Structure 1
Amino acid sequence: MKFYIYFILITKTLVLANNIRGTVSNQYDGKPLAGVNITNDSIGTTTDNKGRFTINVKRKTPLKFSHIGFRVIILPASPNMNIRLTPKSIRTDEVMVLSGLSEKSNSQNERNITVLDSDDITNSSANHFQTLMENMPNLSWAGGTSRPRYFQIRGIGETSHYFGEGPPNFSIGFIFDDLELSGIGMLGNLFDVMQIETYKGPQSTIFGANAIGGVISIRSYDPTDSFDLKISSGIGTDKHRRFSTAINIPIVKNLRMRFAGDYNYSDGFRTNNYLNTFNSNKREEFYSRIKIKYHYMNKIFVLGSFLYTNFDNGYDAWAPDNNKQYMTYTDQLGKDSQKTTGSSLRLRLNIADDFDIVSITSFTNSNLVHAYDGDWGNDVYWYENYGFDSEFEGWRYSFFDENNRVRDCFTQEIRFLNENFIFGFYNKDLNEIDEAAGYLFGGLATNAKSNYDFKVFSGYAEYKKNISSKVRVLLNARIENNIIDYNGVSYGYQGYSLPNVNFNTKNILTGYRCALISKQSSNLMINASIAKGFKSGGINQQPYLNDLNRPFGPESLISFELGMRYNRFNFKSNLIGFLGIRENQQISISSQQFEGDPNSFLYYVSNSGSGHLRGVELENEIKITPKLNLNFSGGYLYSWVDEFNYYLQNDIMVTGGNRETAMSPKYTASIGLKIQNENGLYSGISASYKSAYYFSDGHNQRSNPYFLTNLFISKSIGKVNLKLWARNIMNQFYANRGFYFGLIPPNYPNQLFVSYGDPRQVGITIDYELNR
């Protein structure tokens, strides 16, 4: 009898302890809600990007459904639950900012951040962050590489990092799933990416010395509780082809895994007339990622990420005649490749209701090759077009540079968080070894090797306090110790050794931020802030510099901002004005040392003294009807560098500055319109504009203003989505980098040479998704 009772109880428990499944959507517009917390006393989960959830509880167990901006509800568990959450007062398709010291609603965030969510990314048809950058106000990138590596936000940021340009510390940070990739940001593939967060203005109190101008953070999808399979395939002009897949697998209770892989190829839009090839500028990119997520009783949360990328890109983007047929004449193939392996581990421990400890560990190993034909021509070209006969002259007009770079970066961060206070510690240990061959240090060396050890130790804190029911204050501070050790060897012609360089420098850097936030109503927030950002100093690598001139000092930026956010169901607006004062501004100068040698550039960095910037940014989204959306943004920027001096060959002093900074278009704007109907047809068009800007701080040549227009049309049929897309549909010619120097024999007059951005490209993408 006793056995019989036990059997009934066990059977009843097994029957009632089911995988309860359901979906959570927005009561206002019926859209699924991602990130909704579903909990009871002993277990919890969150909804995926489709609003779906699975939780292993008994039927009729009380479940609590909560999400920022919505009213909390408690309902008994039942099969196939269909939950609709009612908004409080803010717009319901709220986006969370994930990369700060704590997760915050974007509409309530006091920092100026542009967030592109999964809908923005998917609807753009972009396969790389490069395409989306044109739509962000006051964000630019410098060409000279196959993919963007060097970014400028509000006129601050590097335009290159050739051998000899100093240590691997940068003005704009680039982070992918907690992996530190600043200065090597080619990795911008967008398949299975959840959102992109672009911080503008000094962010050193959060991210340290690589964030004086801002930070770009890309976050991919985390594993969810339900099975999901995505397959995407596409073809297009320029022999474009792409295949991608992602699979999400719940392994056991509270443990799930997500895998994503992406292969992308195109010829690179160039025809090499001399080598008779069409792919000398190719983009061949492979990216893969595994994420594992585990949680236990809402007390322990673990997220592990593993990344492998292989970008085997060519580089052949320049021509001596600046032709607009995308024709090149090089006789030596260039390369711009990157292999990166990385892993990160994020651990969160919920010690008490209002106290968490967060640990973030990451490691990356990157191998990069940047090589190029420095004269952009060949013997036949120079003879037929300019009469340069190598046999008669007794030497070939042929130059080639190659830089092989290996970077290892380890970071460890630990944070302690409660409702009003955060403090933490950060450590970074970065080693970069560069080996270069060519005409280095202005022609002094033919081979060189450098070794940078860059160590960072910092502590930081954040405190917030409500002054009244509508006003709160937020205070941030950071102190950082940067230590740079440099060892360099170089060899001149016939193998003779140049002076070795062994040098170290140490900088103690401090940053702060004070923000005042006033919530005028449920829809309107006004904020004002003052912040100080910093960038570490460094070491110039030229062998013959004396110890006094070898180091350059750290730079700081004092920024004042005043902003307004307005957020209703059918209208979002973000308006911000800013003023920045740059102290000990670092200027990177490149000067050609010898006439007739296009690779004899000497690179060095110095502190110019000061500069300033000011501007306005506006971002708006209007929901005209439930099926019609309008987005428009604009930026105004005035970024100035004060006068400074530098030297050309033969100790000729040249004065620079006293003008706007490089890569700082005064006006940027974009507008986009998206419409969908009841039959699954969805279409959109967007246009962006950039005004003229200086290519470099070392010369006064400027770009031309340009417009770019993209469009897409998609049709959903069941689980399949077919999309036709076109980029740069007006086939605009626009320069993304310009050099001013003497290249053309026999007199080598200085003139402007430019590389052009991508021409028109059209393609078709087919997506399939299976989920349970």
Structure 2
Amino acid sequence: MKHLKSSLSLAIALALQPVTSYAQDADTEKEQLEQDIEVITVQSSYRQNSLQSSTASIAVLSSQDIDTRNAINLEEVLGGVANINFSSGSQRARYFQVRGIGERSQFQEPINPSVGLIIDDIDFSGIGSVASTFDIEQIEFFRGPQGTRFGANALAGLIYMSSNRPSDDFEGAVRLTAANYNSYDAGVVLSGPASDAVNYRIVAEKNVSDGFIDNTYLGVSDTNNRDETTLKGSVAIEASNDLTIDLNVIYADFDNGYDAFSLDNTRETLSDQPGVDQQQTTAASAKFTYTGFDSFQLISILSHATSDLTYGYDEDWSYVGLHPWEYSSTDYYLRDKDNTTAEIRLVSEPEHRIFADTTDWVVGVFVKNDSEDLTRQYTYLDSDFSSEFSATNIAVFGQLDTHLTDKLTLTTGVRAEQRNTDYDNTDGLSFTPDDTMFGGKLVLSYQLSESSMTYASVNRGFKAGSVNSNGSLPDELRVFDPEYLWNYELGYKASLLNNSAVLRAAVFYMSREDIQISSYHLNERPDGSSEFISYWDNAAKGSNAGAEIEFLWDINDSVNIYSSLGLLDTDFSGFTYADGSRETGRDQAHAPSYQANLGANYFVTEQWLVNVNLDSKDGFYFSDSHQEQSDSVTILSASFSYLADDWQVKVWTRNVTDELYATRGFYFGNDPRDGYTPKAYYQYGEPARFGITFDYNF
């Protein structure tokens, strides 16, 4: 195994070609920069197709893109993707927003995520904090509803992560990273043939850090620490000439602390009982591809994931003695979550189109069972709260790709999905809602030339409703309904400047019906303090409009630039706040009006590479239920790498200027020193980071 391709992440000639190996030597990398652009493959569509020919707004980050950003977790690459945002309120980002739509937290309520996360065909939606990026081949970001392909988990979009496949020849890699805040990361990869018909891949990673918080009351700096272990194994089996089997196993143990909010809105906390954000997951998937039929391929995908999650925090963010009434409380949520999926689809072969040999087709069935047992341990409860939740989704879907002419194609897709839910809790609440939902798409694409195409599409997405489970909520806030989304989109994709540049652009308008909004209700306790109750409600209507533009240019053999821009204009109205006032129109939460990324790779010599990167984001509302907003921010990052045949050393930094920016915000009273006067509280993003990474490949 030769030199790891970690430094050319956004060079066009690399970023657009399919990633088939985890490593190559520096000379090969240099030669690739001199070649014409090749296309990258979108792997999670019904059919694998090129990014440039896909009729949707999709961004793809390759393993090189991930490595250039020096990323360890999914949250650390999101700044490079237009109109993708995330919410903290936890140790790692586990909730994502696409085009301004997506959840920001989960407490007691069982919810259907608006943005799905799938890793190696395993559904991690809503629990995405374990999304390690080590040995990931590529990450695909679907913007806009995917009602036909992914159903109820993709109202706003979906993130699909695929690991590197087992290799035909033996190879291996070792990565070691040391950074400030006592941060260390170590990973190893072994891959190769087990027999003529079986290849394997084994991956292990350990990441530890003190985190970015000083707890001045306890006198320690590791109450928001990270202790993360990820193990993965995959096997590719050539069972026969007609049958291939791909098996994946993932074990993740994230034993992280959680102590992020400060009464003084600094990185110094006063908590006497710091919290935790832990997740232990064991998951597996199996994909069977059978090509023995003349007219179609049979693809079957099975997956199962079991996760134990513990999320808890010091609710008063302080210590006994600071409060005049010796007030102290903690709030912990312990979840046992199981997720099983099964999908069977038939994908037509090109030689067996229907309707006078004009139409490719796909039909299939999807089943998902999701269960969650929750225990809440809260100081102000007379006894622990517990609930049992299960949901079964059954969907049928189909898609036709009709080639009207050599250049004009009409795509029609439909999905019908039934969700049956069963919910019980210790407050005596029983809830068994059933939702029948329909989604689909209509796309007309036209090949303008060999190097350019355009498309127009209408998509309908959906997500299920559910129940607010907190026993102290008023009855009128108990139930919320399904949400639907119509997306109207125009796109253009082209190779330019003699295939040295690529442009991808899309404009969209989305209309939301019965918006599910995360709000909160405050109950005042007899001692004068307030109980913060998160709940979900439906707003009357909303709209999201904007654009996504990506431009990549291989200027010469030594210089490459890359850029992306997301523009977003959102509003919602018809929502009634806790004080009885009614929203008549304002921006939606976690929906910045612009997100931009600009970077360059420069080969000083054949061995020395410099990367500079800028991420910029406008301010946004933290919640739909109050008026607090983040500030706009621009983050500068850079790296300096030496590339040898079998190894590489990189010195890197992120957030060079140590910008202070918030990733989550609340508004309520929690400080006894000012009489619990309501005000804004923030969780801050990553401060200035610097480190060194060593890669060795064999």
Structure 2 residue matching 1:584: 3-state secondary structure: strand
> Does the aligned pair in 1 maintain the 2:15–2:40 contact within 8 Å?
no
Task: Select which of 646, 653, 661 maps to 1:719.
Answer: 646
Provide the rounded CA distance (Å) in 1 between the counterparts of 2:129 and 2:392. 24
Task: Select which of 415, 428, 432 maps to 2:368.
Answer: 428
Listed as ranges, the matches of 1:121-140 within 5 Å are 121-140=66-85
The count of corresponding residues between Structure 1 and Structure 2 is 667
Structure 2 residue matching 1:156: 3-state secondary structure: coil
- Give deviations 1:132-171, integer Å, cap 9, x for gaps: 10111111111111111111111100011012xx223110
Listed as ranges, the matches of 1:282-681 within 5 Å are 282-296=225-239, 298-323=241-266, 326-352=267-293, 354-380=295-321, 382=322, 388-389=323-324, 395-418=325-348, 419=350, 420-438=360-378, 447-490=384-427, 500-543=428-471, 550-568=478-496, 569-594=499-524, 600-647=531-578, 652-656=579-583, 658-681=585-608
The residue that corresponds to 1:113 in the other structure is 58
Q: 1:547 to 1:695 in 2, by over 3 A?
A: closer
> Does the aligned pair in 1 maintain the 2:286–2:302 contact within 8 Å?
yes
Provide the rounded CA distance (Å) in 1 between the counterparts of 2:366 and 2:628. 41
Answering whether residue 42 of structure 2 is matched by residue 97 of structure 1, we say: yes
Larger radius of gyration: 1
The residue that corresponds to 1:264 in the other structure is 207
- 1:446 to partner: Cα distance: 5.2
Structure 2 residue matching 1:205: 3-state secondary structure: coil
Answering whether residue 173 of structure 2 is matched by residue 227 of structure 1, we say: no
Q: 1:477 to 1:755 in 2, by over 3 A?
A: same
The residue that corresponds to 1:249 in the other structure is 192
Provide the rounded CA distance (Å) in 2 between the counterparts of 1:32 and 1:172. 24
> Does the aligned pair in 2 maintain the 1:399–1:599 contact within 8 Å?
no
- 1:605 to partner: Cα distance: 1.7
Provide the rounded CA distance (Å) in 2 between the counterparts of 1:121 and 1:254. 31
- Give deviations 1:528-548, integer Å, cap 9, x for gaps: 000110011111213366887
Provide the rounded CA distance (Å) in 2 between the counterparts of 1:48 and 1:711. 25
Letter of the 2:691 counterpart: G
Identity level (%): 30
Q: 1:617 to 1:95 in 2, by over 3 A?
A: same
After alignment, is 299-308 or 669-678 more displaced? 669-678
- Give deviations 1:193-240, integer Å, cap 9, x for gaps: 100000000012111101000001110001010101100011110001
> Does the aligned pair in 2 maintain the 1:91–1:567 contact within 8 Å?
no
The residue that corresponds to 1:494 in the other structure is none
The residue that corresponds to 1:732 in the other structure is 659
Provide the rounded CA distance (Å) in 1 between the counterparts of 2:681 and 2:22. 46
Letter of the 2:668 counterpart: F
Provide the rounded CA distance (Å) in 1 between the counterparts of 2:419 and 2:15. 46
The residue that corresponds to 1:19 in the other structure is none
Q: 1:30 to 1:171 in 2, by over 3 A?
A: closer
- 1:124 to partner: Cα distance: 2.0
- 1:352 to partner: Cα distance: 3.6
Q: 1:35 to 1:115 in 2, by over 3 A?
A: closer
Letter of the 1:320 counterpart: L
> Does the aligned pair in 1 maintain the 2:440–2:461 contact within 8 Å?
yes
Q: 1:698 to 1:445 in 2, by over 3 A?
A: farther
Provide the rounded CA distance (Å) in 2 between the counterparts of 1:429 and 1:130. 27
The residue that corresponds to 1:238 in the other structure is 181
> Does the aligned pair in 2 maintain the 1:212–1:533 contact within 8 Å?
yes
- 1:254 to partner: Cα distance: 1.9
Listed as ranges, the matches of 1:162-241 within 5 Å are 162-163=107-108, 166-241=109-184
- Give deviations 1:341-367, integer Å, cap 9, x for gaps: 000000000024551000000000011
Structure 1 residue matching 2:67: 3-state secondary structure: helix
Provide the rounded CA distance (Å) in 2 between the counterparts of 1:332 and 1:446. 20
Q: 1:35 to 1:643 in 2, by over 3 A?
A: closer
TM-score for both structures, normalised by structure 2: 0.92
Provide the rounded CA distance (Å) in 2 between the counterparts of 1:264 and 1:277. 20
Provide the rounded CA distance (Å) in 1 between the counterparts of 2:548 and 2:264. 38
The residue that corresponds to 1:43 in the other structure is none
Provide the rounded CA distance (Å) in 1 between the counterparts of 2:611 and 2:491. 29
After alignment, is 671-680 or 504-513 more displaced? 671-680
Provide the rounded CA distance (Å) in 2 between the counterparts of 1:602 and 1:49. 47
TM-score for both structures, normalised by structure 1: 0.83
Letter of the 2:415 counterpart: R
> Does the aligned pair in 2 maintain the 1:48–1:225 contact within 8 Å?
no
Task: Select which of 623, 638, 650 maps to 1:696.
Answer: 623
Q: Which has the higher contact order (CA 8 A, sep 6+)?
A: 2
Provide the rounded CA distance (Å) in 1 between the counterparts of 2:529 and 2:559. 53
Structure 1 residue runs of 5 or longer lacking an equivalent are 1-28, 37-46, 53-83, 383-387, 390-394, 491-499
Q: 1:540 to 1:618 in 2, by over 3 A?
A: same
Structure 2 residue runs of 5 or longer lacking an equivalent are 1-11, 26-30, 351-359
- 1:763 to partner: Cα distance: 0.4
Provide the rounded CA distance (Å) in 1 between the counterparts of 2:530 and 2:361. 53
- Give deviations 1:370-415, integer Å, cap 9, x for gaps: 11001111135x2xxxxx44xxxxx312111001011001100001
Structure 2 residue matching 1:186: 3-state secondary structure: helix
> Does the aligned pair in 2 maintain the 1:427–1:458 contact within 8 Å?
yes
The residue that corresponds to 1:25 in the other structure is none
- Give deviations 1:238-290, integer Å, cap 9, x for gaps: 00111100000201102110000110111111111111111100011100100
Structure 2 residue matching 1:671: 3-state secondary structure: strand
- Give deviations 1:481-516, integer Å, cap 9, x for gaps: 0011100114xxxxxxxxx01110001000010000
> Does the aligned pair in 2 maintain the 1:138–1:154 contact within 8 Å?
yes
